[in-house]
Amino acid sequence: MQHPGPPRFTTVGESVELAPRDPDPDELYRWRLTSAPEESTAELDDGPVVHLDPDAPGTYTAELDAPDGTHTQTVRVFPTTRTSARFSVSADAVDAALDDVDSASVIGPFNDFVMGGHRVTRKGDEFTLDVELPPGDHQAIFAFEDEFDPHATTSVTVEGPGRPRIRLDGRREAEEVVVTATAQAAPDGDDPEVEFHFDDRDALDESDVSVDGDELRIPVESLPVFSRVHAVAVAERPSIADTLTIRVGDEAAISFDRPADAPEWVRDATVYQIFVRQFAGEKLETTFEEIERRVPYLESLGIDTVWLTPVCASPTRHGYHITDLFDTASDLGTRAEFESLVDRLHEAGIQVLFDLVVNHTSRDHSAFQMHRAGVPEYADHYERIPREQDTTGVDWAGDDAPGHYFNWASIPNVNYDSLAVRRWMLDVVDSWAPLVDGFRCDVAWGVPHGFWKEVRARVKAEDPEFLLLDETVPKRRVDFRENEFDLHYDTDLYYALRDVGTGDAPAAELFDAFVESERKGFPDESVYLRYVENHDEDRYATECEAGTLRPAAAATFTLPGTPLVYYGQERGVPEQRGPMRWHDGDADLTTFHRELVGLRDEIPALRSPGVNRVACDVQDGEERNVVAYERPGTEDEESVVVVLNFAEKSATVTPHRDVGTRDLLTESDVGGGDGVRVDSVAVLRVR
């Protein structure tokens, strides 16, 4: 079915891309806007992929003529939440060698809505950028002389509430189905109202239901075999939508599903990221066969999920500049050898995440070369920026520039306004999904939301347990939770742990990550990837103070979420992408990580969603560097208190909870004086 998908939700001034699903580039598709708010002057192009730029709040309806029929797409538009803001960098903040620079590229701002480049000019002693931004903290990077470095980073805070949250649940009451919406106000926000919406793909509509506040009722006799209900919580800002599916089975049996929620297995998973071309060590070239020989090591760690950096053909060691999206890199091995590696990992009970790169290709990809050489069938495969609109500052030949982000001139963005590109990338998804257990989606923020919604529906139809992990950095954005991704980078905890590790923040700063999740509108059901380092970040132990890696790693294993171990983190590899230290690695650090993995597997409370901060007295040690929290168990499961000490020296700590003195991590008694002795971490049973 080529219907464009579920109703879309946005705010005034925020463009929405609309496209047919499962497109055939050789067929004809045509859009038209059939209704809009009275005060709107918005229009749609008649091409196969269009962008609605809503200029008034209300409901917009578009129709798509496709080979399989005419389809309706509803777009609900809420009032804008943006206000004027200014980023500025003084000339004094710029390296003296750049005193004569009169312009800069602004990369960002990074926020829930914008991720792009701007060109600004110098006015007196300042470079400034005026933009419209929603409430929250936003960051921008000013890059000079066509280079990402040297640069200056600046932040601005826009006052206002966060986003509310909503959850849908269903039940049957006699001959009615009841859908209940639980709406939660944003921090410092007003109580929201609930809007229910129906799916244009289904037979269920407004005339079949009755709504009373946060409750929707449907007579069982009015239900089609399958239907979807969507809802949004609306206050000063709208929430992301939640979705509930209703299926009528044999003898009118009713079942409900929450399709936006992550598969259960990810909540218990421990992810190990392998930077593939460095995993065999200092002397050997890494191949799929060499990784396969090291699976026993992964088994010994106890991890159950592996994320492999890109394995497709690429001229770079990191692999993100891809020249063939359908085949493996020749230096790593054949596709058959990759499949053998996946089979071996599966035999070991380890799931495999494939690094899916569909925002861009290498400029050495044959498709890009054909595009730049003017071959007609590739004319629309890549973004093109007219010279006068080019804000990237990179000098390209010709009258237009390929679209790209930052200073990534060698990886041009593909053009998702092209049906041929959408077909190409869906074929890439179809090629790899049957072999693996999930995708880590590179530069997810650069790909349209509508495409990710289609990818989710596509892979989940074949395997509901398939995992989708988004890369939305440096500021995670809640919109990617709306029927798109299961697992989300937790950049807030990452930055908090870095600030604690460098001494720029107290240990209690890590709780700010939880406040940020709520403020940004992430539902309670959201699952986050907790990490201290990855292939894009400096090693924690290299950048931070001595003694802080162990408590930071322990935080990722003992706070709610899915922990990530970046290869070599557990062996003391000092370089961001250095060779794995097999012969001279830190054995004690490796044991420590094994213990963390084992303890999390052993204690259900460490895998549960709940966490409560615990006050504590620090008799001996640095109070600023100590934090404690409880992971509550159920009635049948024990609760534990975790104490982290980010100081290089031990601390004596008395938590304000009745706890035992045996550290469950090391199975040793840490009692002493009036408290417990904590070197880096102690996990204590609540009495």
Catalytic (active-site) positions: 442, 471
β-pair partners for 612: 630
Q: Helix or strand or coil: residue 93? A: helix
- Backbone φ and ψ for 315, nearest 5 degrees, come out as -85, 0
Q: Which of 618, 687, 612 is nearest to 654 (CA)?
A: 618
Residue 277 exposed, middle or buried by CB count within 10 Å (0-12, 13-18, 19+): buried
Distance CA 326, CA 544 (A): 40
**DSSP class per residue in 528-567:** EEE-S--TTS--HHHHS-TT-HHHHHHHHHHSSSEEEEET
The tokens 């959850």 sit on which residue? 167
The answer for residues whose C-beta is within 8 angstroms of residue 654's C-beta and 6 or more apart is 616, 617, 619, 674, 675, 676
Residue type, 314: S
Compute the distance between CA of residue 99 and CA of residue 204 in angstroms, rounded to an integer: 64
CA–CA gap between residue 433 and residue 427 (Å, rounded): 10
Can you say how many angstroms the Cα of residue 36 is from the centroid of all Cα atoms in its chain?
A: 33
CB neighbour list of residue 71: distance below 8 Å, 6 or more residues apart: 2, 3, 4, 20, 63, 64, 200, 201
Task: Please report the DSSP string for 282-295 in residue order.
Answer: SSSPP-HHHHHHTH
The Cα angle at residue 384 between residues 383 and 387, in degrees rounded to 5: 150
Helix (H, G, I), strand (E, B), or coil: what is residue 306? strand
3-state secondary structure of 332: coil
